[in-house]
Amino acid sequence: MRLLNLLPLLLLPPPCLPLAPYPALLSAVPSPSGSKLPADIQAALAAKVDALVSTASAPPSTADELTGTHRLVYSTAPGPSSGSLGPFVGSVTQTFVDEVRFVNRVELGPLKLELSARRTAIDGKRYRVSFDDLSVSCFSLPLLAKTVGGEGVWELRFVEACEGSGGRKVRVMSTPSIFVLEEVES
């Protein structure tokens, strides 16, 4: 008799488990350009980023080598750093050339912007980033190449493979804008 009373419980679907922090962030990001999202959505995404950072197995370190190509998952940065070119949003990658040099690339259809830069460790958690050259091409034809200046600081908040990343490294940094990048090629 008791088994018959339990039968309805056995027919219920299993309860939904919460997503791990990285898949939860991925599922909540409606666009690679966070700076164009309403403030309430940005706040919710910032909370998901903080949840991801809180799962770090160890503090991030500039001693951990950054290699390969990483794609931008989410950013609060305005302008081209987050892929925004006027009303359009392109895809953003960051490719590490060696221990110092890297290239930020924005692609929007046939239009490609490349910003070459260098990084130097300040301490165990921060890099000083110096911007060198900007090039713009369309259909692989060069439109602009110029030397640019400027520098900034990256503060690493999270660098490791996590559940939902397929074993690839996920990196969270503040500049103070938030950037979440995922390694796509090592």
173: number of Cβ within 10 Å: 22
Structural domain contains residue 6: no
Query: Coil, strand or helix: which one is 3?
Result: helix
- Is the per-residue pLDDT at 6 higher than 90? no
Structural domain contains residue 177: yes
Please write the tens of the pLDDT for every residue from 38-92: 888 888 999 999 999 999 998 999 888 889 999 999 998 888 888 888 888 889 9
Of the CA atoms within 13 Å of residue 184, those in its CB half-sphere come to: 11
Structural domain contains residue 24: yes
Number of domains in the chain: 1
Phi (first) and psi of residue 103, to 5 degrees? -130, 125
Structural domain contains residue 58: yes
% pLDDT > 70, the chain: 87
Give the pTM.
0.85
Average pLDDT over residues 160-179: 90
Structural domain contains residue 9: no
Structural domain contains residue 2: no
Structural domain contains residue 74: yes
Contacts of 134 (CB under 8 A, 6+ apart): 113, 114, 115, 116, 144, 145, 146, 147, 148
- Is the per-residue pLDDT at 24 higher than 90? no
Structural domain contains residue 7: no
- Cα gap 93→80, rounded to integer Å: 11
Domain extent at residue 93: 18-185
The residue to which tokens 């008791």 are assigned: 2
- Show the beta-strand stretches assigned E in 48-100: 68-75, 84-85, 88-89, 91-96
62: number of Cβ within 10 Å: 18
- Cα gap 147→48, rounded to integer Å: 37
